[in-house]
Structure 1
Amino acid sequence: MKAPSYPFSSGGWGSLKAVASILAQEKVPLKDSAILLKQNKPEGFQCVSCSWAKPADPHVFEFCESGAKATAWDTTAKRMTPEFFKLNTVSSLLRWHDHDLEEAGRLTAPMRYDAATDKYSEVTWDEVFAEIGKELNALDPEQVVFYASGRASLETAYMYQLFARMYGCNNLADSSNMCHESSSVGLKEAIGVGVGTITLDDFEKTDLMFFFGQNVGTNSPRMLHQLQDARRRGVPIITFNPLREPGLVSFANPQSPVQMLTPAHTQISTQYHQVKNGGDTAAMLGICKAVIEADDDAKAQGLPRIIDVGFIEEHTTGFEEFAAYARATPWSDIETISGLGRSALLDAAAEYMRANAVIAHYGMGLTQHRLGVQNVRMLCNLLFLRGNIGKPGAGPSPIRGHSNVQGQRTVGITEKPELAPLDQLAMQFSFEPPRKKGYNTVEAFEAILKGDVKAVFNLGGNLVRSVPDRLQTEPGWGRLRLTVNVATKLNRSHLVHGEVSYVLPCLSRIEFHRTPAGDQAVSMEDSTGCMHGSRGVTEPASDKARPEQFIVAGIAKATLGERSTVDWDAWRDDYALVREEIAKTYPDIFHDFNARMWTPGGFHRPLAARERKWKTKSGKAEFLVPESLDEDSDMSAKAPDALRLMTLRSDSQFNTTIYGVGDRFRGVKGTRMVILMNKADIEKRHLSEGQKITLQTIANDGIDRRLDGLEIKAYEIPEGCIAGYYPECNVLLPLWHYAKESKVPGAKSIPVRIA
């Protein structure tokens, strides 16, 4: 259906007010706020929040509201000094809200937990390295997990994975395990590469864009500039999303005087289809079915074919089996499971059949399901039908939500030994890497609960808060022997500590990295596979905070000793040396790395699928016949009172970091304990808006998962579906409720009832 008018748009004065508010809240001086002008610029620093592409010819203000908040959060004038920890026990800090913990300011000194006082106390960096090295050497390497947040640079991630493998394990869990691992698995199976294939140039050549389960207004707002430009050229945008999100409906550009001083805005979606939670495979199958049936009719009448016969015959396998499945699936099944009428899907299919080059953007609305990998494969099926991959203006576009989460995978952060160049690393550094599969994030917590993991090295992030089943997993984390946390600010993962626990303050990439070898720069990869350099532009928060590279190198040196052939001290001081080794390990991607890292717009990694070369098992792009239309068929909510819960983020949030309690885009003020519910569902259950309820998970595993104090808010969401905020609703998500092939938590379709 056509997208109706909407009373709100993303961007605009609300965005400008939010940026001004966060700068004032974090006490960022006016002169320091000018660093925003260097954000996402050549020779400047790359944003620490989302990983959307950085253009070669940037806007004057090449940052969005979310990026400005992330920068203000890092450059805050507030400090959490050792004196703060002298005044506060860990037990008392555990009662603080997540927002308040980080809002207290930047960490300034390395800290170690003291069980006698229940406080963190300051230690020296020499003590940190010696004691952590001693603890690690007392453990079996397979009992240790090395977790990496997506904020780490390419240099840090490469050092980190090498340290873990020299230590003796592949337990390299990371934030990708929680979100886009379904893309890494599904895309690799379908097209031979585990990442998207489009670049910014493709926006100028596309005829149509799809959005599936990705809220651009909250999670990658800078992308709205490209969408606005495309809409001005008349490019249709078809959105499938359970909630009506302002950023997917309309956009008022804060950099446009016309749109700021008049009611003008750009309509983003030309069709907006509110698919049910878990109904994406069915919706995509409906479009495919319409295309295939239209092609059958054209063939019978001797008319030009609708599908790209040449592409399918030369470049794909499995089409006939998939086409037979699509023809045989009743429209009634597709409509029931997707929640969309046949006419709506035919409208989307008609637009698709008119377009020559199509981009399909998607986010965790596709990946965080039991059949999340199948969702990604279905999206590829849709693109294959009309040859929409390997040509200008077309291809799959997974939108990564973390600044370098894709890049750290590119340089070796993976628990799967077959995805790492182990033979090359062995030759390059004269050691024998472990060949046993390691733990991903879910597997790591399964092992923690069993007692098989004794230590976690947590490189950024708030792991305890981000994982499912928090009321089950937190106690397991607290039983660990060792927890090492590298962070800029305090969070719950540091307070639910192991027997031996360290909180180590690191620099942000926004800050100067000064070493004996001079000022250092770092690099990262964006969502479109382009590598960028990044230079610090402001003074460090503390003279005792250290770069991540310094911390990883110090612990590696203390742990490995003479077992390592790496000159960790040299790497710590000169990041160019690390990049030289990255180039040796991955010459196809990173040749001449130090010279090319400042290429305007970044340099692009080679992707065989862009050239229609398929590194799959069959040597061709592979169609998939779906296992089931019901994405959560093994945990379907059959009870008459069941609802499907999806978790989501607010506009004042970046992953587990909460900048403010509320959600401007959805009209939520002063709380995050909210459940968005269809009015019909509210009335059917004899409830009322504003009433507080308790949700209970429907699961037959003997564990009573429930969350109290959730306030009902009427919202445009399909009947039978509800939405609540992450990470608060993680207590309702079983650890075992994950995508089958990728083990990404199934956070977008959790069967629950009102208790």
Structure 2
Amino acid sequence: MLIHPKAHFHPYSHASGGWGSAKSVMKILWREQALAKAPSALLKQNKPDGFACVSCAWAKPGHPHALEFCENGAKATAWELTSMKTTPAFLAEHTLSELRQWPDYALEQHGRLTHPLRYEPASDRYRETSWDEAYREIGAQLKALEPDSVVFYASGRASLETSFMYQLFARAYGTNNLPDSSNMCHESTSVGLQESIGVPVGTVTLDDFNHTDCLFFFGQNVGSNAPRMLHQLQDVRKRNVPIITFNPLRERGLERFVNPQSPTEMLTPKSTIISTQYHQVAIGGDTAALIGLAKALLEMDDHTQRKGGAAIIDYDFIDQHTEGFEAFASMVRGCHWQQIERQSGLTHGALESAATVYARNRRVMMVYGMGLTQHRQGVQNVQMLVNLLLMRGNIGKPGAGICPVRGHSNVQGQRTVGITENPKKVPSELIEQRFGFSVPKQRGLCTVDACEGILDGRVRGFIGLGGNFLRAIPDTSRMEPAWRNLELNVQIGTKLNRTHLLPVKNMWLLPCLGRIEIDRQNDVAQTCSTEDSTGCIHGWRGSAEPVSPHVRAETSIVAGLAMATLTFNPSIDWQGWCEDYSQIRTAISAIYPEIFHDMEIRMAEPGGFHRPIAAAQRKWLTPSGKAQFITPGTLSEDDDVYPCALSRDVLQLMTLRSNDQFNTTIYGYDDRFRGISGTREVIFMHRNDITRLGLKVGERVLLTTAIEPEVKRQVGPFEIIAYDIPEGCAAAYYPECNPLVPLWHHAKRSKVPASKSVPVRLTLEER
């Protein structure tokens, strides 16, 4: 019988940061045997003369702190610079069937891949191969496949240089099948902001934090997912700027913070209060809460104007810069407070209190994460944030604007240089003129489309530029069996993961340099670049020696595959690009001159350079030339699984990450801020729901998706933890709960999996 570890739950009473973070960093440095290399690397992390963090995409300041890394960034560095290795000898000892029984943590924790590998079906093992053989045989396989049957997936970790080459390779091959990790997180942002304000990215820069009067946070756990932002939040709070937070769980990083770089704070009980108001919105209640804020503003404006006071709504800005306000305002006025309260889980008074703070401040920023985007109405959520900002003219002035917090370190940048399934979003004419081939006209596959193509057999080949695709996607229990029907699977990565272990007919595992390692081409250390969450492009270079002489740079791997697959094209010098990355940047500048002109000079400046964001200058690149108020169609954030249509034994489940992981990478079994240690097999529930459903704290339950009963989606058993979460809601960890998310349960128009609201039923584990 499988023995599940017992959870140790001790509510965490300390602030985020502080000694807890320091101890956690030292623990992983010791465990990864990285004490010799990691400390010197950490001193260069996110510095102008160092490397960009492997972890999140939060902005890197031009004048960095002495230690410009956070707890999770340090863990990512230790994870990459580990002294442990996964060699061909180890893989010769273990079949893939055996390794599939290992936990995800154990697979990656075993160490860095050191040699190119080919899967041998007869022995069910990976065997060492040569790079030349790998390129030649993969190229032959790609030539034999229809281009539109092959998917080129990108995880978001590759540099701008590699990403540009990768999308060029795919399009020259003949397909726009370029799904990426943004399809699973912030594609709702790209769609929503483009329609509302004419740009697909946020309008806020780091400097805006110095000028803001007020911050609103929605669905983003800064303490675990972007901890370096806590420096900006602490500075804001020292100016007595209010921070209003909406989140189902009370996250420690949004409550209190101790700066590990401050001796005064580390040696005294002192900490900084982060949120001045904290509203625990119900799962799926964000749209209703945002409409409630807008309704409160309109009612305050009516009251003030009746008394002859100054308007709260910025009608001058609205008249000059926007369209659609009257229709939006009419819809909001027509919503009843009882309906808003029921859907949001918040009281009229709570929403009015938050709106009052908004009304009192002139420069307001809205910060948000996947808690808003990963819903059926994720695009609508993003556009409701824009609506609120437009009501008071809070886009296009210092200290104000919208700030999506991106996940992986270059997930925004790779889209900027062409990683997209939509050929209308790339300058096809410039590509064709410069590189002498026709860009395919047909729309390619996004991540959800690619999954559907794997299920129905249309997708025959898959190339993965980093990531752990099979763990990151939804509907895992349906996807894994279908995956085995692929004819070709090529994975470029640094460590072993689950996606590498499901065999297909032809499979290769190609080890690449880590970002922190020195990328030497012709004995010259190369410089790379990335774009952060605020649209700032930075140059960087690695500082550690490569793990093995047999690993290659991602640029070299992409070029090697391209040269082995494509007909010779004198207009694309793949080999020359590999030897001198400045040549790649010259090509990027030629295709995207407005963003990347003089790139070689500007990316070396402290703080990098910002891409032009028209909306930040109040230039609206929409069809009408104005910003758009977009009227929401519903208060229900997940109207394909509307909670009122479900029985009382159904809970709305959101997936979340621990502070001991980054995306699918699990660094350990502790979630310090939530008080969990020893396991990830837990479900957080309100005490009233535990009692109401006839359950007990500590019991183990199976979680089953409460819709589409003909398809069994189940995980567990998970141990019940009583937690401060709204009634009717539950939370458990990603990616363990991905099998519960139906592939069709995704955001309208953006197709982002709606992982933040999944209806589930609980049943006791059979003894």
**TM-score interval, smaller chain:** over 0.9
Is 1:698 the counterpart of 2:706? The answer is yes
Counterpart among 706, 713, 721 of residue 713 in structure 1: 721
1:737 aligns with 2:745: yes
Deviations 1:485-533 (A, max 9, x none): 0000000000013210001000011101111161101100000000001
| Aligned mates of 1:256, 1:519 — CA distance in 2 | 35
Give me the whole-angstrom Cα distance separating, in 1, the residues matched to 2:282 and 2:552.
47
Q: String of CA shifts for 1:292-330, please: whole Å, max 9, x gaps.
A: 111122233332110111110000100001111111100
Q: Does 1:105 align with 2:135?
A: no
1:344 aligns with 2:350: yes
Read off the aligned partner of 1:721 and give its amino acid letter: C
Letter in 2 for 1:555: L
2:207 equivalent in structure 1: 201
Per-residue CA deviation, residues 549-601 of structure 1 (Å, 9 max, x unaligned), is 00000000110032563111101111100000000001110001111111111
Q: 2:657 aligns with which of 645, 649, 659?
A: 649
- Whether 1:267 and 2:273 are equivalent positions in the alignment is yes
Which letter does structure 1 place at the counterpart of 2:258?
A: A
Give 5+ residue unaligned stretches, structure 2. Answer: 1-10
What's 2:598 paired with? 592
Q: What TM-score comes out, normalization by structure 2 length?
A: 0.97
Deviations 1:426-483 (A, max 9, x none): 1111111101000000100101100000000000000000000100001111110000
Please state if 1:357 is matched with 2:363. yes
Offset of residue 683 of structure 1? 1.3
- Report if the CA contact (8 A) 2:640-2:745 is conserved: no
Alignment deviations for residues 381-417 of structure 1 (CA, whole Å, 9 cap, x no partner): 0100000000000000000011000000000000011
Q: Note the 1:446-525 alignment, pairs <5 A.
A: 446-516=452-522, 518-525=524-531
Using the alignment, how far apart are the partners of 1:198 and 1:671 within structure 2? 38
What secondary structure is seen at the aligned counterpart in 2 of 1:562?
A: coil
Q: Choose from 327, 333, 336 the match for 1:330.
A: 336
Q: Is the 8 A contact 1:509 1:522 kept in 2?
A: no
Give the Å deviation of 1:86.
Answer: 0.9
CA distance in 2, matches of 1:61, 1:114: 46
Q: Does 2:679 align with 1:664?
A: no
The structural deviation recorded for 1:88 is 0.5
Note the alpha carbon deviations across 1:51-94, whole angstroms, 9 max, x for none: 10000110000000000000000000000111001111110000
Matches within 5 A, 1:406-417: 406-417=412-423
Count of matched residue pairs: 751
Query: For residue 666 of structure 2, what is the amino acid of its counterpart?
Result: I
Distance 1:707 1:78 in 2: 31
Counterparts of 1:701 and 1:398, CA distance in 2: 36
1:632 is the counterpart of 2:635: no
Structure-1 separation of matches of 2:607 and 2:273: 27
Post-superposition offset of 1:656:
0.2
Deviation at 1:6, TM superposition (A): 8.6
The equivalent of 1:571 in structure 2 is: 577
SS of aligned partner of 1:533: strand
- The Cα of 1:689 is off from its aligned counterpart by 1.1
Contact 1:649-1:726 within 8 A present in 2 as well = yes
> Do the aligned residues in 1 keep the contact of 2:12 with 2:673 (CA within 8 Å)?
no
Q: Give yes or no for contact 2:669–2:678 (8 Å, CA) kept in 1.
A: yes
Shift of 1:31: 5.3
Which whole-Å CA distance do the structure 2 matches of 1:397 and 1:536 have between them? 29
Q: Distance in 1 between matches of 2:308 and 2:438?
A: 62
Is the 1:211–1:361 contact (alpha carbons within 8 Å) kept by the matching residues of 2? yes
| Counterpart residue number, 1:44 | 50
Residue 147 (structure 1) shift: 0.2
Distance 1:294 1:542 in 2: 65
Rounded to whole Å, the distance in 2 between the matches of 1:524 and 1:78 is 28
- CA change 1:688–1:732 in 2 (3 A) is same
Pairing 1:544–2:578 present: no
Give deviations 1:357-390, integer Å, cap 9, x for gaps: 0010000000000000000000000100000000
- Identify the match of residue 686 of structure 1 among 669, 688, 694: 694
Match of 1:534 in 2: 540
Amino acid in structure 2 at the alignment position of 1:572: C
> Which residue of 423, 427, 437 corresponds with 1:421?
427
CA deviations on 1:714-747 (whole Å, 9 max, x unpaired) are: 1110000000000000011001100011000000
Does residue 86 in structure 1 map to residue 115 in structure 2? Answer: no
Specify the alignment match of 2:7 in structure 1.
none
* Mapped partners of 1:346, 1:477: distance in 2: 50
Q: Which residue of 2 aligns with 1:401?
A: 407
Amino acid at match of 2:497: N
Corresponding residue for 1:313?
319
Gaps of 5+ in 1: none
2:216 and 2:244 in contact (8 A); partners too? yes
Aligned pair partner of 2:563 in 516, 533, 557: 557
| Identity value in percent | 58
Q: Deviations along 1:244-268, whole A, 9 cap, x unmatched?
A: 0000100011111111111111000
> TM-score if structure 1 supplies the norm length?
0.99
Question: Whole-Å Cα distance in 2 between the matches of residues 229 and 246 of structure 1?
Answer: 17
Q: Are 2:291 and 1:279 equivalent residues in the alignment?
A: no
Query: Match of 1:645, SS?
Result: strand
1:188 aligns with 2:194: yes
